[in-house]
Chain A
Amino acid sequence: MSLIQAEGLYAGYGGVDILRGVHLHVEADEIVVIVGPNGAGKSTAMKALFGLVPIRAGTVTYLGENITNRPPERMVTRGVAYVPQEANIFPSLSVLENLELGAYAVPGDLTPRLEKVFALFPRLKERRRQQAGVMSGGERQMVAMGRALMVDPHLLMLDEPTAGLSPRLIDETIQRIQEINQLGIGVLMVEQNARQALAVADRGYVLATGENRHEDTGPALLADPEVAEMFLGG
């Protein structure tokens, strides 16, 4: 059974469909990457899955249950966490408060979850009293991912987690994502740095103008000359 599966998704804003029949699925232990040119509908696909953009047609199933158009708070309680590309932290709150709030919908003993996040991102433990808004881009991305991990998700959805980061931080972030995946968390991410992301991905989807164009294992997509030429910048 797939962790999450979308079939024939039509979704968009104000009656205009940005997604036109998109399908995708993520298995429990996978890293799945969505790549594609600007305006392909990558972020919209993520938002539609998470209940942030209304789905007009098609279905989303999570662990076999139909969750089409379910509101975000219900997704969180079922174990799906989503990190938007921008504005993904609470800037005036401390790092620790950001993490605590991440667990708001699934209360209980936070200590083991905090330990888990701090083990992945030791920097956050050092700076837990710091106001999140004044931290560097890389650290903010850690806070954002840490916040999402506080719900103990089965599925982590990341929208361009390396956007705006330096090459060194991109490598580090991708490595962290692999470590998160090794904890048994399925990862679905949209990525502009397609080559690096596909290199670590179990599978990838290429979207263009709201439709599926290619899908294959990460290495196979990287090796595909057509994909390389059209979507990975030659």
Chain B
Amino acid sequence: MIELIHLLINGIVLGSILALGAVGATMIFGVLRFAHFAHGDFMAVGAYFALTVVTVFNLPVLAALPVAMLGMAGLAVGIDQLIYRRIRRVQPVILLISSFATALILRSAIQMIWGGSNQVYEVGIQLPWRIGPIAIKPDHVLIVAAAAILVLLVHGFLTRTRMGKAMRAMSDNMDLALITGIPAERVIMWTWAIGGALAAAAGVLLGMDTRLHPTMGWTLLLPIFAATILGGIGRPYGAILGGLVIGCAMELSTLVLPGTYKPAVAFAIMILTLIVRPQGIIKGSV
């Protein structure tokens, strides 16, 4: 029983991280109609941005989080302007392959700049808080709290601001958005900025939970896509739900399967969703 609760806690932590990545990926898909394969590496770059801030200015990780988010938002917009914008009107598969290439470039850049070995934000062991027999790591609480705050901010942005509503509108009905006079290019830039910032946040939180490594984001790309498909492609709220479900399923699977099969569990859920309910939990836009 205690083990189950601990696994659930781990699942919620992983799920929060996946949710942040999945929200951005699903928004990018909704607005641009392509699966962004470099999203995992956006996470990794964000995590390393924070590492630089932490080491250079000797700040706590959570203080470096906004800086990393801002940096990654700018980088995401820059990558879009430099690479994706030019090929947006050709076949979607070319866009998809180019995002794959972008992923490789980013990962190699991380290795060149920060090195290929494991790194951590803070050295040392955190003593867990104990609630009766249950042990909770303070970092886990911080991760879930930070993710929850960011999700609330995204919710506020999507429902209260003009740009957020325009983004949902474009995701809903691209042609009508054009007819209505919604400025597609501005919406696309904002989508990249927010998608990039959320990916960076996911990366930093992942780095807090585990460690930093150039492939840290890449290995989470599959669970993130699984979360977006499970939640309904193009549906931010679905992606949050999908992230939590996939995260918990991955952690709980270790009760019966070796831990190395965690990504396989996410993959299985993705395939199952595509067979049984391809539109996702919340009916997606595809």
Q: How far is the CB of A48 from chain B (nearest CB, A)?
A: 14
| Chain A, Cβ-Cβ closest to B285 | A92
Are B178 and A90 in contact, CB atoms less than 8 angstroms apart? no
Q: Which residues of B contact A87 (CB under 8 A)?
A: 173, 175-176
Q: How far is the CB of B35 from chain A (nearest CB, A)?
A: 20
Given the complex of chains A and B, what is the CA–CA distance between A72 and B175 in angstroms?
Answer: 10
Are A104 and B182 in contact, CB atoms less than 8 angstroms apart? yes
| Chain B, Cβ-Cβ closest to A98 | B169
Q: How far is the CB of B228 from chain A (nearest CB, A)?
A: 16
Are A90 and B176 in contact, CB atoms less than 8 angstroms apart? yes
Q: Is the interface of B mostly helix, strand, loop or mixed?
A: helix
| Chain A, Cβ-Cβ closest to B234 | A92
| Chain B, Cβ-Cβ closest to A102 | B180
Given the complex of chains A and B, what is the CA–CA distance between A76 and B184 in angstroms?
Answer: 14
Interface locus among B10-18, B45-53, B85-93, B160-168? B160-168
List 17 other contacts, CB 8 Å, given A90-B168, A101-B169.
A72-B179, A75-B181, A76-B179, A84-B175, A87-B175, A89-B173, A90-B173, A90-B176, A92-B168, A92-B172, A100-B165, A102-B180, A104-B166, A104-B180, A104-B181, A105-B180, A147-B180
A225 within 8 A of B: no
Given the complex of chains A and B, what is the CA–CA distance between A106 and B176 in angstroms?
Answer: 16
| Chain B, Cβ-Cβ closest to A77 | B181
Give chain B's interface residue range (CB within 8 Å of chain A): 10 to 19
Given the complex of chains A and B, what is the CA–CA distance between A41 and B277 in angstroms?
Answer: 39
Are A101 and B178 in contact, CB atoms less than 8 angstroms apart? no
Are B179 and A84 in contact, CB atoms less than 8 angstroms apart? yes
Are B173 and A52 in contact, CB atoms less than 8 angstroms apart? no
Q: Which residues of A contact B179 (CB under 8 A)?
A: 50, 52, 72, 76, 82, 84
Interface residues of chain B, those whose CB is within 8 Å of chain A, are 162, 165-166, 168-169, 172-173, 175-183
Q: Which residues of A contact B176 (CB under 8 A)?
A: 84, 87-90
Are B169 and A93 in contact, CB atoms less than 8 angstroms apart? yes
Which of A88, A97, A104 neighbours the largest number of chain B CB atoms within 10 Å of its CB? A104
A39 within 8 A of B: no
Q: Which residues of A contact B168 (CB under 8 A)?
A: 90, 92-93, 97
Are B182 and A105 in contact, CB atoms less than 8 angstroms apart? yes
Chain A window 74-85, contacts with chain B (Cβ cutoff 8 Å), 1 for yes, 0 for no: 011100001010
Are A73 and B173 in contact, CB atoms less than 8 angstroms apart? no
Given the complex of chains A and B, what is the CA–CA distance between A76 and B183 in angstroms?
Answer: 11
Are A76 and B172 in contact, CB atoms less than 8 angstroms apart? no
Q: Which residues of B contact A82 (CB under 8 A)?
A: 179
Q: How far is the CB of B24 from chain A (nearest CB, A)?
A: 18
Q: Which residues of B contact A72 (CB under 8 A)?
A: 178-179, 181
Q: How far is the CB of B197 from chain A (nearest CB, A)?
A: 23
Q: Which residues of B contact A75 (CB under 8 A)?
A: 181
Q: Which residues of A contact B180 (CB under 8 A)?
A: 76, 101-102, 104-105, 147
A-B contact pairs, 17 of them (CB 8 A): A50-B179, A52-B178, A72-B181, A73-B182, A76-B180, A77-B181, A87-B173, A89-B173, A90-B172, A90-B173, A93-B168, A101-B165, A101-B166, A101-B182, A104-B166, A105-B182, A107-B162
